[in-house]
Amino acid sequence: MPTFALPLLFVLPLLFVAVMFGWPLLALAARAFGDGASTDLPQLLSDANAADLLWFTIAQAAASTAATLVIGLPIAWVLATYELRGALALRVIVTIPFVLPTVVVGVAFSVLLGDRGPLGWLGIGASLWAIILAHMFFNIAVVVRTVGSVWAQLDPRAEQAARTLGANRWRVLRTVTLPALAPAIASAASVVFLFCATSFGVVLILGAGRYNTLETEIYRQAIGFFKLPAAVALSMVQIVVVAVVVTVSALLSRRARAAGAPRRRRKPHGRQWLPVAAILTVSLVILIAPPAVLLWRSVRPTVGGSWNLDGYRALFESVNGQTPWQSMQYSLISATWAMVIAMVLGLLGALALVRARGVLAGAATVVAMLPLGVSAVTVGLGYLVILTGMPREISTSPAIVPAVQALIACPLVIRILVPAMGLVDDRLRQATATLGARPLRVWWTVDLPVIKRALCAAAGFAFVIAIGEFGATSFVARPDTTTVPVLIGASLAKPGSGNFATAMACSVMMLVVTAAVVALIEVVRKDEGGEF
């Protein structure tokens, strides 16, 4: 592609990010500090206990990341090393938590670990441990996919040589395998840390007001106390943290790209079944227990009460003029449009990033990934400020929700497509161009066959991320544009077993939809590595 075309690839993605991401943040900052009545930034941060919030945010994110690595790395080893019957189903089960709405994950662990839940005897229902476990459940897929894709393509000859020289399995793992996997592990850890540091729904529900991160405190200051200056000041701190983590993640992900042909998986035999069976058992319990408890409480909303389908019947009963089933229909339509927007912009952004070099590439990567990590609450508040000053035709437009969802999904599309595009041999492009093919024909005949599975996977993940988005969508949704995650949050905020049953039934409905999409993605990507 001609060098002059490179800036053109950036135009649409950068314009979209500037309008949909930069504009709300600037509008919120102007609203908070524009009147001149606010105190200085250090004083605002001091009054909001920013230092303590930052410390707790980093500490819980680090603990959650460590727990995720402890569980995720063994699963990555099993899937990368052994040929197992049911491996496809295991990949689906591992991936489902990552695409569930965070509010659903929070509800699942609240029910599972609550006083009257199956694991209530542990006494950790509303505690730091509950937050860490929920984050671990949510982020296992990041570790399994990122590390597993590299592990599956490590050259086995180095390990074989070490074994020939007398090293046992543990020494080979410590001295050969783990050093080779270190960049991938660090890359996965940085992404998990980012998601845990900016987690909203999980901390809001499981923290129960006792534990607050920067994200939940931004919400509390803005919505609970309507102190916009304090909320914006905390958002600035969070943006700095996110920018640092995204930069580190971008650098590590470049080093973590897998190279070489996939190693040959083998069937476990003899003693090899012991660690494999143990890992599979523990992982399946961890991954299946929360969805199972959602299903259980959807048909038995009151512990010790009768079994019933009241929650599912309520899906067809009107709530504020719209039934939950209509909310699901709107969610599907909205997520489809968000997927289309995210795919177009993500593809252009990925093409630009692959062709960019040096400082430009690094800066563009950080800008592209920022919407994935910056406070959805902050972005949502910014939209409220903007929309209140717009004509009713715009402020109530049903196009706003899919546009916001596309903003959140676009960075994930880019993250999936960039590694796939990096596998295209540039010599083939040059040879095709030499034969007279135009740039679009070169891309269609050379690039597309290589990245078509990644495109399908990116589209699937964009869809499920969009349909499950909760933070920013909750601020821009209207009665006729209410998505299912927003409806779940509203139902949980209302007292009564009926509202709880409706929330559980909606959560199960979301679980079924995301599981179906993830299963389709895995079928498309069967036997193909890849990272998020």
C-alpha to C-alpha distance for 379 and 241, rounded to whole angstroms? 16
Residue whose C-alpha is closest to residue 139's, from 178, 99, 112: 99
Domains observed in the chain: 39-299 (1.10.3720.10)
The backbone region for 179, taken as left when phi is positive above 0, alpha when psi lies in -120 to 50, beta otherwise, is alpha
C-alpha to C-alpha distance for 329 and 512, rounded to whole angstroms? 14
Amino acid at 404: V
Residue whose C-alpha is closest to residue 214's, from 230, 233, 234: 234
Residue range 310-362, pLDDT digits in tens = 889 888 988 777 888 988 999 999 999 999 999 988 888 888 777 766 666 66
Residue corresponding to tokens 């979209």: 16
Burial 24-38 (b: 16+ CB within 10 A, else e): bbebbbebbbeeeeb
Q: What is the pTM of this model?
A: 0.82
C-alpha to C-alpha distance for 407 and 386, rounded to whole angstroms? 16
CA dihedral 486, 501, 209, 212 (to 10 degrees): -50
Q: What is the pLDDT along the chain (532 residues), one digit of tens a residue?
A: 444 455 556 677 778 877 888 888 888 777 767 655 555 777 888 888 888 999 999 999 999 999 999 999 999 888 888 888 888 888 889 888 887 888 888 888 988 888 777 888 888 877 899 999 999 999 998 888 888 877 877 767 777 777 777 777 777 777 777 788 888 888 888 889 988 988 888 888 888 778 889 888 888 887 777 787 888 888 888 878 877 877 777 666 655 554 445 556 778 777 878 888 999 999 999 999 999 988 888 888 877 778 888 889 888 988 777 888 988 999 999 999 999 999 988 888 888 777 766 666 666 666 666 676 666 777 887 887 788 778 877 777 888 889 888 888 888 888 778 777 776 777 777 787 787 777 777 778 877 787 887 888 888 888 988 888 887 887 888 877 888 888 888 887 787 778 888 888 988 988 888 888 888 887 776 655 455 5
Residue corresponding to tokens 């600035």: 236
Residue range 87-139, pLDDT digits in tens = 888 888 988 888 788 888 888 898 888 877 788 888 887 789 999 999 999 99
By three-state DSSP, how is residue 82 classified? Answer: strand
